[in-house]
């Protein structure tokens, strides 16, 4: 039975690509991201792997609705409502999430295991994550004065005062857009995400583990999944799981090593 508690929330914005009768792959992005971050790979999985690929903007991100509430329980319910809207067959469905989206995916799998066939989690563990590493990003975003900037170059210059990495600035600037009156705005709900940053680091737990096939993908240069996570934290909640490491990749493993991610996901989904 569908959970009726999602009825008050608007439907998430999504992009549905590929053969509508093919096996569905649902993709959830990370913090400050959008479905666009996965668009190149999503097209490849639809065109080359023959999947139905549904990319999603989570609440307070992209073109989805803004809400003062931001938690993993609520985000999982939002995604379940989308499953209902699209009438996705749970026996054929793979759910995949990166970072914050990975924790949403784990939350949904653990609380509603009957709603999906298998799970892919990209470079995040279920344990608590200290969010202090996001302080510079938040400071950079808040340094952009949307009331005075005239172009994207000025926005990037403000970000650069706090964020030296060009790739991270380019990733964040995907959230910047012009309104109809030509002023700039963020697609992300920056005040709410900033206020709820500690919740984004929350541990994911459950009384019962998720017994279905699960693939964790980690970047070899990333510390988001540790040796202890592989030995203890992940198997405790996901006993039917494997951890694949992509060498020479950091946290944004899908952007740095797209061919490797394409193959890992294609092979895993192909086992259904």
For the annotated catalytic residues, the residue numbers are: 99, 251
Report the helix count and the strand count for the chain, using DSSP H and E. 12, 9
Q: Which residues contact 154 (CB under 8 A, 6 or more apart)?
A: none
Whether residue 143 contacts residue 161, with contact meaning beta carbons closer than 8 Å, is answered with: yes
The rounded distance, in Å, linking the Cα atoms of 197 and 132 is 9
Whether residue 59 contacts residue 187, with contact meaning beta carbons closer than 8 Å, is answered with: no
Whether residue 140 contacts residue 159, with contact meaning beta carbons closer than 8 Å, is answered with: yes
* DSSP 8-state secondary structure symbol assigned to residue 56: E
Residue with tokens 């959970």: 3
Whether residue 98 contacts residue 189, with contact meaning beta carbons closer than 8 Å, is answered with: no
* DSSP 8-state secondary structure symbol assigned to residue 229: I
- Judged by DSSP in three states, 203 sits in coil
């Amino acid at each position: 039975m569908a959970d009726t508690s999602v009825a008050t929330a608007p439907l998430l914005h999504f992009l549905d690509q590929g053969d509508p009768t093919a096996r569905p792959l649902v993709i959830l992005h990370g913090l400050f991201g959008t479905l666009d971050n996965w668009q190149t790979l999503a097209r490849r999985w639809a065109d080359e792997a023959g999947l139905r690929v549904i990319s999603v903007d989570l609440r307070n991100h992209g073109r989805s609705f803004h809400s003062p509430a931001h938690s993993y329980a609520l985000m999982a319910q939002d995604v379940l409502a989308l499953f209902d809207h699209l009438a996705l067959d749970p026996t054929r469905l793979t759910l995949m999430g990166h970072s914050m989206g990975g924790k949403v995916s784990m939350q949904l799998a653990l609380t509603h295991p009957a709603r999906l066939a298998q799970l892919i989690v990209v470079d995040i563990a279920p344990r608590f994550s200290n969010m202090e590493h996001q302080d510079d990003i938040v400071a950079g975003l808040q340094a952009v004065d949307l009331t005075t900037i005239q172009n994207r170059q000025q926005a990037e210059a403000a970000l650069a005062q706090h964020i030296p990495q060009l790739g991270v600035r380019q990733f964040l600037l995907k959230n910047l857009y012009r309104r109809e009156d030509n002023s700039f705005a963020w697609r992300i709900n920056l005040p709410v995400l900033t206020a709820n940053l500690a919740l984004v680091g929350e541990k994911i737990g459950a009384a019962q583990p998720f017994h279905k096939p699960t693939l964790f993908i980690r970047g070899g240069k990333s510390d988001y999944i540790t040796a202890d996570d592989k030995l203890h934290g992940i198997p405790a909640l996901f006993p039917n799981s494997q951890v694949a490491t992509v060498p020479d990749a950091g946290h944004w493993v899908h952007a740095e090593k797209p061919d490797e991610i394409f193959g890992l996901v294609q092979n895993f989904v192909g086992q259904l």
